[in-house]
Amino acid sequence: MPHDHPHPHNRPLSDVELRVKALESILTEKELIDPEAIDLIVETYETKIGPRNGARVVARAWSDPAYKERLLSDATAAISELGFSGVQGEDMVVVENTDEVHNIVVCTLCSCYPWPTLGLPPVWYKAAPYRAKVVKDPRGVLEEFGVTLPEDTEIRVWDSNAELRYLVLPKRPDGTDGMTEEQLAELVTRDAMIGTDVLTAQ
């Protein structure tokens, strides 16, 4: 992408990233694309259409038991109540993390992902190593993300596809009873809604 925004500056670009930059340069020279417009689209998905939407869904579910019930029974409709719907989010299922069960989401075929609630998928979500390993060794993958769960916690892996996309409802952190819905939303991370993070009160 323009200006290498998604890339850490301490590593060389991958072959795919180099090809994208070369293609972008050619299209820009031919005046077929506007780099500023692309930057705006990326920024919109990363900061506006992105994980903040999903965080609002999670915070509402933590704050409103009736909404949580609707979310778990008909996620698509409940998410639409907050104004989040559209392409890549037409058919949603929300799975809840509990003391007994931890959920994690993957797309083993490609990178199906709920764009209206989570924005652009992270690079690692689309990478073959994550897609292959999380099915075989989800506990090991979680440990790579710094998440160590009790041995008796059941880990369920949900495979998103073109017809159905999943969102994890993380456990509400302890010590957050007095927080407003807006404050709760600030605690929610994108990775927690994929299942590769466990939230704590900050």
> What amino acid positions are annotated as catalytic residues?
107, 110-112
Task: Quote the DSSP letter at residue 145.
Answer: T
Find all residues with CB under 8 Å of 186, minimum gap 6, and list them: 55, 202
Whether the CB-CB separation of 159 and 88 falls below 8 Å is answered with no
Structure tokens at 190: 């994108």
Distance CA 75, CA 114 (A): 12
CA nearest to 97, candidates 134, 61, 51? 61
